[in-house]
Amino acid sequence: MKVFGFGLIFCAVAHCQSSIVQTRTIALIPSANPTPTPIPTPSSDPSSQHNRTRQSKHVHEFFKSFGWLQRDRTIKDGDLPAAIKKIQKVLNEPETGVYDERMETMMSRPRCGTEQPYNETDATLIGTAPHKRYVLWGPKWDHTSITYSFINYTGDLPSSRQQAIVSAAFAQWTQFLPISITPATAASSKTDIHIRFMSMGASESAYAFTNMIADGLSLSSGLINITFNDDYNWLDDRMFNFTAVHEIGHSLGLSHSKVENSIMWPYYEGIIRPMHPDDQAAVHTIYGWKNPRWKSIDANAGTKAIVHVSSSTTSTSSSAIDGLYQFRSTGQILWYNTAGTWVSVDNNKDTAQITGANGVLYQRHTDGSIYRYATQGAAWQNIGGPSESTIDIVAAADQIYQRRKDGWVARWSGTGQTWTAIEQPSAQISKQIAVTDNKTLWNLLSSGDVVRSEWPYSNGGWQIVDANAANVAIAVGGEEFYKLQSDGSVVWLDLTAYLWRIIENAGSVAIHGIGIYLYSRHKDGSVWRYTGTPDTWEQLDGVASSAGVVGDRKGAVWELLASGEVSRLVS
């Protein structure tokens, strides 16, 4: 893992100018005349094309979810194509005005029935101007100890199980906030948030809704109701949990988000996913951060680097190897266990680098030999012999790669000390590699060119993705690809339209990605977290002496200072 130097940061949300830059065409190396890459066109679902009533219903529901439609107003049939284009803009799809299969699939999912107040600014926004991803409802709680209670329960689950699920859902939010949310006691004079189940009728597609009643700038205690549709079966804990987390966001003052992977997106996939940076930025804007924001977990002047090992995105449980590791100048490697204690897993003066992914930790020695650690307490497995050609190693997905001085990249075969060379893309030397969860290998060359090779890396399979001498660094998060340019701009490759989109232009000097998270360090040492919106980043802290920042797939963040101190972001 390449560890970039990041700084600590203060609570803020920054907005920067978003631009679109046409990408260079993609072609196989060594072709000097790349052929154009076609822009995908939307597919239409013939059955849904003829069901105008269903389409209109879905479009109206979407508009009401975002406050784009005044009460008692409807969208005329002649205005539906324009309305569909507005939705397609949010979905980051070609704006054809044609209701297609992608829209039908998304809008047929379970949804939130909370209707936002009419937002004239957002409703009338047209053209290329971006919609703000998260929108704050307006009011917030004016006290920090908030209570809730159940009015009734569904018959689908034991009441104790329902209480446990809702308690865990509230904790999803309070882990980031300087507030507490607890069940109301019998002695409580008034409960802030009520939770209930009621029948909404067989034709109602909403799984739940939250009514928001406020007195001026404060939410009204006792008048905030989270209502679950009891016509649906709540035996599925995942759906119950996700729906509860979403509705609680409303009860804290959040509206719907336009980031599809966020908790506050109004349509449910029925999977439990981590809080999105968009959700965190929104709720921090309302309630601020916990104090102190960072907690020191170690201080040793010899600490040179920190890395985090996470299990694969498809894994249902964590590996025993998962967690935070530090590497010291003496060669010692330490693991931060779940009890909050640092445990030594190796101490070899020849160790030069550590990296890890998918529940496995690796180390490279000064002689180029490579070792693998997959079981706590077990011996390290030698998977690569000494080699003066090895520059560094990178772990990603379920693979381990090495960059070599001759410009080639190799990956471990999985047995013994056998490595498979991935054909050199050109005479240029590799400057940095990054690998997605699906094992697409990205390679930044010394010329600034960016090339990629898709699994299983067949010979001649390198593709030119960008030819730009201004490229200085690359990063991946999940399947997303980002690059940093010498002018300080951070650029995202939009693979749906094959466009480079500038998502930050604020003097970045380093970027780091993991899962859905992307971090950027600025010249002043501040570190920012991308919210998923090209013009919105959240500042985490700002310390010029930062030496590195790493994160996990759930949003946890750790920082290494030049002094050797290691800190964890509390909220």
- How large a percentage of the chain has pLDDT more than 70? 86
CA 374 to chain centre: 26
**Is 129 domain-assigned?**
no
Last residue of a domain, one of 253, 279, 312: 253
This prediction has a pTM of: 0.86
- Give the pLDDT confidence score for residue 21 in this predicted structure: 39
Q: Which residues are annotated as a binding site for Ca(2+)?
A: 156, 192, 230
Q: Do 350 and 226 belong together in one domain?
A: no
- Segment 399-445, tens digit of pLDDT: 999 999 988 899 999 999 999 998 776 767 899 999 999 999 999 99
Final residue of a structural domain among 198, 221, 253: 253
Q: Is the pLDDT at 9 greater than 50, yes or no?
A: no
Q: What is the DSSP letter of 192?
A: S
Whether residues 92 and 179 share a domain: the answer is no
Residues 101 and 156 in one domain: no
139 vs 327, residue with greater confidence:
327
DSSP SS3 for 36: coil
Who's near 137: CB < 8 A, 6+ residues apart? 116, 117, 212, 250, 253, 254, 255
**Residue 259 resides in a domain:** no
CATH number, domain of 236, equals 3.40.390.10
Q: Summarize the annotated binding site as residue ranges.
A: 112, 156, 192, 230, 246, 250, 256, 264
Average pLDDT rounded to a whole number, residues 508-512: 94
Q: How far apart are CA 448 and CA 238, in angstroms?
A: 45
> Is there a single domain that holds both residue 381 and residue 246?
no
Examine residue 403 and state whether it is found in any structural domain, yes or no: yes
210 and 315 part of one domain: no
Q: What is the mean pLDDT of residues 138-163?
A: 94
pLDDT tens, 469-492? 999 999 999 999 999 999 999 999
Using DSSP's 3-state secondary structure scheme, residue 514 falls into strand
**Residue 129 pLDDT greater than 60, yes or no:** no
Bond into 456 cis (ω within 30): yes
Distance CA 181, CA 183 (A): 7
Same domain, 521 and 389: yes
At position 312, the amino acid (one-letter code) is S
- 149 and 119 in one domain? no
- Check pLDDT > 50 for residue 372: yes
Residues 315 and 345 in one domain: yes
Pick the catalytic residue from 61, 247, 480, 565. 247
| Number of domains the chain is built from | 3
> For residue 264, is it within any domain?
no
Structural domain boundaries, residue 418: 12-16+293-569
The tokens for 245 are: 């987390």
Q: Are residues 421 and 313 in the same domain?
A: yes
Residue 381, in any domain of the structure: yes
Contact of 168 with 174, CB cutoff 8 Å = no
User: What is the domain-level CATH number for residue 116?
Assistant: 1.10.101
Nearest to 74 by CA among 61, 87, 86, 65: 61
Domain contains 25: no
The structure tokens listed for 235 are: 């035996």
358 & 304 share domain: yes
Q: Are residues 366 and 222 in the same domain?
A: no
Q: Which residues are annotated as part of the binding site for Zn(2+)?
A: 112, 246, 250, 256, 264
Same domain? For 463 and 399 the reply is: yes
Residue 456 lies in a domain: yes
The answer to whether 454 is a known catalytic residue is no
pLDDT digits (tens, 9 = 90+) for 546-571: 888 999 999 999 999 999 999 999 98
CA dist list (Å): 60 to 12, 47, 229, 256: 34, 19, 20, 15
Answer whether residue 35 is part of any domain.
no
- CATH number of the domain to which 534 belongs: 2.130.10.30
Cβ-count burial of 212 within 10 angstroms (0-12 exposed, 13-18 middle, 19+ buried)?
buried
